[in-house]
Amino acid sequence: MRAIWRLPICLFVGLLVAGCASVGGRPGAGPIGSPETACCGRGYPTLAPLVRAVTPAVVNISVTSTVPLEEHAFFDDPEFRRFLKRFGLPLPRTPRAGRRQSVGSGFVFDADRGYVVTNRHVVEDADKITVTLKNRSTYRARLVGSDISADIAVLQLSPVPAGLHALRFGNSDDLQVGDYVLAIGNPFGIGQTVTSGIVSALGRTGVGGDGLQDLIQTDASINPGNSGGPLINLAGQVVGIDIALLGPSGGNVGIGFATPSKLVEAAIQRVLTHR
């Protein structure tokens, strides 16, 4: 019986070692596609080398937008205001447009031009977009363009930082249910966070009524603020962009979704072609 419960652990270790042995390259310089992620250098499995290689390309996004002026037909009704004046009651103030702060995630996919990709809904109606790198340096970003069908937006940093890291896209068509993945992002605005899990399902559609198709389902923790962050395979490649979660209270319950990299790449190409 003891050997039976050890089997899943041994299988996980074996798969992790095999995955790590299959990648190579030099981390921390230029585009990251096959980083050196020898994950067993200290005698036990770890994803730390992989995380060190990919996280410099992942960014936090802060958005400032204007909250539209709300209409209050009842309070602005002339008869109602005359009624208040008659009895010496104070008139209600017409509310002013306010400012709203929101957060999300993204990653650099073109270091030379300072291009960052994120979800369209993260930067929709933004007046000001600020991008923070892992080293905590901040940059203004402009919206290059967006693709509503894939909920993708392309930003450009200004100025383009020297020594910027970038991630490479993997082939999402190669994904299988059970593949290990990492989700990296800025949940709840607390800062860069890495979670791990597996691909739980493929080809999900109609999630949240947003009409998005062919989504990747994962049990890697995805929370508000993770939107736009990358879903990474064990080769250090982007296989999806975290886009949504499914939970009764807006928090993670082990069901998250990502747009496949093949759809993201196609959307980026459309944006850059028609900008």
Question: Which residue has tokens 């109602």?
Answer: 80
Q: Is residue 241 within 8 Å of 231, Cβ to Cβ?
A: yes
Name the helix (H) or strand (E) containing 116: strand 115-119
90-to-6, 45, 75, 238 alpha-carbon distances in Å: 74, 69, 12, 58
With a CB cutoff of 8 Å and minimum separation 6, the contacts of 268 are 109, 117, 147, 152, 154
In tens digits, the chain (275 residues) has pLDDT values of 444 444 444 444 454 544 444 444 334 445 555 444 445 556 788 999 999 999 999 999 999 988 665 555 555 666 666 666 666 777 666 566 667 788 999 999 999 999 999 999 999 889 999 999 999 999 999 999 999 989 999 999 999 999 999 999 999 999 999 999 999 999 888 899 999 999 999 999 877 556 678 899 999 998 888 999 999 999 999 999 998 666 555 556 778 999 999 999 999 999 999 87
Write the CATH number of the domain with boundaries 168-273: 2.40.10.10
pLDDT tens for 241-254 read 998 666 555 556 77
Q: Which of 102, 221, 227, 261 is catalytic?
A: 227
Q: Which of 121, 147, 165, 261 is catalytic?
A: 121
Q: Rounded CA gap, 242 and 185, in Å?
A: 9
257-to-54, 69, 201 alpha-carbon distances in Å: 20, 33, 9
Q: Which of 62, 102, 147, 151 is catalytic?
A: 151
121 is catalytic: yes
Task: Give just the sign of the alpha carbon dihedral 28, 31, 36, 39.
Answer: positive
Token pair in block for residue 69: 């002026």
Token pair in block for residue 116: 């960052």
CATH fold group of domain 58-158: Thrombin, subunit H (2.40.10)
Tell me, yes or no, if the two domains 58-158 and 168-273 fold the same way: yes
pLDDT tens for 261-271 read 999 999 999 99
Q: What is the DSSP letter of 247?
A: -
Residues making up the chain, counted from first to last = 275
Domain chopping of the chain, boundaries: 2-53, 58-158, 168-273
Residue type, 190: I
Nearest CA to 176 among 128, 234, 131? Answer: 234
